[in-house]
Structure formats: C-alpha cells, structure tokens
C-alpha cells in the first residue's frame, strides 16, 4: 500500500502561521492561526469543504476542512466507498505490516506513523545514523537581453538592475547552487540567444564576465529561449535537482509558446521559476508559466513580479533559497534500501515511491535520498531544518529531537547534516 505524508502542506507553510507547521495534532487549537487539525491528525490551512479557491494550485479542500494535494485526502469522506484516508492517500484498510516502513496499522484499518520512541519507549533498536552531504542543484538563469531592458526605472536602466541582481545572487549562493547563464535575444530579430556560461561549480565570476554592458536584442522570443534551455546538457542530470529561472520585462512576440515550453521542461523534471520585471509583462502568461513550471507562489501574481532593485533582489534570493536543500548524497550504500528511515527535525517522514510527497531512495547508482513535494518545500525554504537518515530500524536515540513526542519546528536553530 502506498502512503504519502500530508504533514507539509504548501498552503499551510505560506498561508497561515501554524504552530508546529505540518505537525501531528489532536485538536485544531494545536495548529495556530488559520490552521485546522485534519481527521488524519495533521495540521493544514483551513478552507471550506465546498470551495477550494483558498488553496494553492495543485491542492483541494478536503472534507476535513483543510487544504490537501489534489490527488490526496485529509479525511475518509474524501475517498471512495470502502477506502480510507491512509496518511494522505486513499487506500484499502490496512492489515498486518501492509503500511510500510515507519508506519503501523491501527485496529480501525488506518495506517499511522509509528509514535516517536516506538514501542521501546525511546530505547535503541540498533540502527545506524548515515552521514549525508547536501547535493547542489543545477540552475540555469535565462535572462532577457532585448532592447527594452535599457528602459529606465527612475534613473537606472532595467538591464543594469537585472545584471546587478544576477551578480549578487550567483556570488551569494554559488557554494550551494551550480549556476549557468543563457541570454535572449540578439541583434538578429527573434533569435532565441545562446548559452553563455554552462551550469557548473563556482560560476559567479564567469557569469559576471559574460554580462554585456548594454542590452541590444530585437524581439522577445521567450518560448524559443526556453526551448533552448531544455537542451542544455547541464540540466540533464538525474543525480541533481534541475531548475530554470526566466527573467523578462516583456511579452512573447516571436510566435513562441512559452507555456508549452515550460510544460516540456517540467516533463523532463526541470522546474521553471518566472520573474517579471517592470509593467510591460504579460501577467497572465507568466502566471500560467509559473503554475505549469511547478513554482507558483501562494498569492497573486503567481509568478515573481519585480519593479525595482529591491524587489528584484528579493525575488532572486527567495528563488535561490527554494532551489536548495532537497538532495542528499549518502556516504555509503545502504545494504538493504528497505531499511532506510528519514527524519526532518526529529519527525519520521514516510517514503513515497511515487515521488510526490515525502522522500525516496534513488538507487545504488548514486546513493541519493531526495525529498519531494511540500516536504522538500519545507526543508528548502528553511535553512534551519535538520534532515537525518537512519539505517536498520527507526532508532529514535540517534535522532535529534526524536523520541520525545515533539513536532517539527521550522524555526528551530539547527543545521542540515
């Protein structure tokens, strides 16, 4: 039986100030302002069961009164007749050991997380804490180089503001992200541009050196530039998370289809962040791109809109933080992959072989643990989150914050292993 953790709801993280965001709960008062305790025992953003408009894209309002993934559940009534809501996913009533690692079957047929401390009251069961190393993401900046970028905001050209922001973000985050740079267009009308700096380690200096003094491209071939990005060898890396960040001040005017190109990138497991700069962008198109690119914001507009140096820098920093933290290289191969247990801030996270919400082991080829969905969002957007990987058995004595019945505290001052 497949199980998925609904403990981290993106709307919960961004839409309410919840105590123990995504934590296990018994009553709604444990979930803070604008939160609700779902019948499955986790906090979520409150919503109306007859109206999902307050939930973010990709979510719906459960009949339990909280936002859940569109394919998931928060209460048994969300499921078809005879099925139960099993930790966020509809499934048959459990029996025996059918729930999987880190889970137990209750008498009412529901799967549930094994209580922290397990049946041994916090005693060691002989597990081993695996050391892991954060794996840098691949991140290609696709920058609009059309002539309109020379238009001024106050007294400074948009191009100067954008290049300053690119230099700042690449310098600040190059130890955590592998950057590359593509630019569009060129003096040849509607030329989709080219890659100027390949995605790689320590690329900030090369990117700074590649940025021209002026922008003189003709046309805004956003679709063509994204199609070119999809062919970048640096993003064809299954051992890492791969991202594109499009920055544009205009509208597609070269007969391209940017939304379709973003969908193609997503199909290749490449997410697309979208930044609109200035007032001449196509807001609806950029929002559709962000939604289909898997990076939509939990507010309007769904993409990142910047209108000056401060908001552009803020958008770049937020996006960079969102690209950090979801891949971990194990120091050695686990003898039995079925005996891996992952904890975030001391709370066990179920494995999800569907790569939707939770974690999965990527096999002996690269010995990598990857966090997915809103679990990834919670860790990537909070530098203090602590990820620990245990082998052998769910041993709470090896886990910081484990075995004490506590919940995930996204504001705790702790360090990622």
| pLDDT value at 302 more than 90 | yes
Bridge partners for 340 per DSSP: 391
What pLDDT, on a 0 to 100 scale, did the predictor assign at position 413? 25
Over residues 184-208, the pLDDT tens digits come to 999 999 999 999 999 999 999 999 9
pTM value is 0.62
Burial of 26 by CB count in 10 Å (0-12 exposed, 13-18 middle, 19+ buried)? exposed
* Number of neighbours of residue 268 by Cβ within 10 angstroms: 11
33 — pLDDT class (breaks 50, 70, 90): low
Task: Give me the mean pLDDT over the 273-298 stretch.
Answer: 93
- pLDDT for position 102: 64
Q: Which two tokens stand for residue 366?
A: 């690269």
> Exposure string (b/e) for 168-177, b if CB count within 10 Å is 16 or more?
bbbeebbebb
Q: Which CATH number fits domain 137-322: 3.40.50.1820, 3.30.420.40, 3.40.50.410, 3.40.50.720?
A: 3.40.50.410
pLDDT at 7 over 60: no
Q: Are 197 and 229 in contact (CB under 8 A)?
A: no
Place of tokens 């180089």: 145
Measured CA to CA, the distance from residue 278 to residue 245 in angstroms comes to 16
**Percentage, residues of the chain above pLDDT 70:** 83
Cα–Cα dist 43/26, whole Å: 9
Split at pLDDT 50, 70, 90, the class of 116 is: very low
To the nearest whole percent, how much of the chain has pLDDT over 90? 42
Categorize the per-residue pLDDT at 293 as very low, low, confident or very high, splitting at 50, 70 and 90.
Answer: very high
Domain range annotation of the chain: 10-114, 137-322
What is the arithmetic mean of pLDDT over 207-218?
Answer: 96
């Amino acid at each position: 039986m497949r199980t998925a953790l609904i403990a981290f709801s993106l709307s919960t993280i961004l839409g309410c100030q919840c105590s123990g965001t995504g934590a296990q709960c018994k009553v709604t008062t444990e979930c803070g302002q604008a939160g609700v305790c779902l019948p499955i025992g986790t906090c979520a953003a409150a919503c109306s069961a007859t109206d999902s408009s307050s939930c973010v894209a990709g979510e719906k309002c459960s009949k339990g009164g909280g936002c859940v993934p569109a394919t998931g559940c928060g209460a048994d009534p969300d499921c078809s007749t005879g099925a139960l809501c099993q930790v966020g996913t509809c499934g048959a009533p459990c029996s025996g050991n059918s729930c999987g690692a880190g889970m137990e079957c209750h008498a009412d047929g529901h799967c549930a997380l094994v209580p922290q401390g397990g049946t041994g009251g916090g005693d060691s069961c002989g597990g081993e804490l695996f050391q892991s190393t954060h794996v840098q993401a691949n991140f290609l900046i696709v920058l609009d180089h059309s002539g309109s970028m020379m238009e001024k905001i106050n007294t400074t050209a948009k191009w100067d503001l954008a290049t300053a922001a690119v230099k700042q973000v690449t310098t600040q985050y190059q130890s955590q992200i592998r950057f590359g740079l593509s630019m569009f267009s060129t003096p040849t009308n509607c030329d989709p541009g080219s890659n100027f700096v390949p995605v790689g380690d320590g690329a900030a200096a090369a990117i700074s050196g590649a940025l021209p003094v002026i922008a003189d491209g003709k046309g805004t071939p956003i679709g063509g530039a994204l199609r070119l990005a999809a062919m970048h060898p640096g993003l064809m890396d299954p051992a890492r998370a791969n991202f594109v960040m499009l920055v544009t001040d205009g509208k597609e005017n070269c007969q391209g289809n940017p939304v379709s190109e973003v969908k193609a990138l997503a199909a290749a497991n490449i997410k697309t962040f979208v930044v609109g700069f200035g007032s001449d962008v196509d807001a609806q198109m950029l929002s559709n791109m962000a939604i289909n690119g898997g990076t939509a914001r939990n507010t309007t507009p769904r993409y990142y809109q910047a209108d000056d140096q401060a908001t552009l820098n803020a958008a770049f920093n937020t996006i960079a933080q969102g690209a950090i933290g979801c891949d971990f290289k194990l120091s050695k191969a686990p003898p039995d992959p079925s005996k891996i247990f992952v904890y975030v801030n001391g709370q066990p996270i179920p494995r999800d072989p569907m790569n939707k919400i939770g974690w999965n082991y990527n096999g002996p080829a690269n010995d990598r643990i990857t966090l997915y969905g809103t679990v990834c969002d919670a860790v990537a957007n909070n530098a203090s989150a602590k990820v620990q990987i245990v082998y052998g058995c769910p041993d709470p004595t090896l886990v910081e914050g484990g075995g004490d019945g506590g919940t995930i505290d996204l504001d705790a001052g702790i360090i990622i292993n």
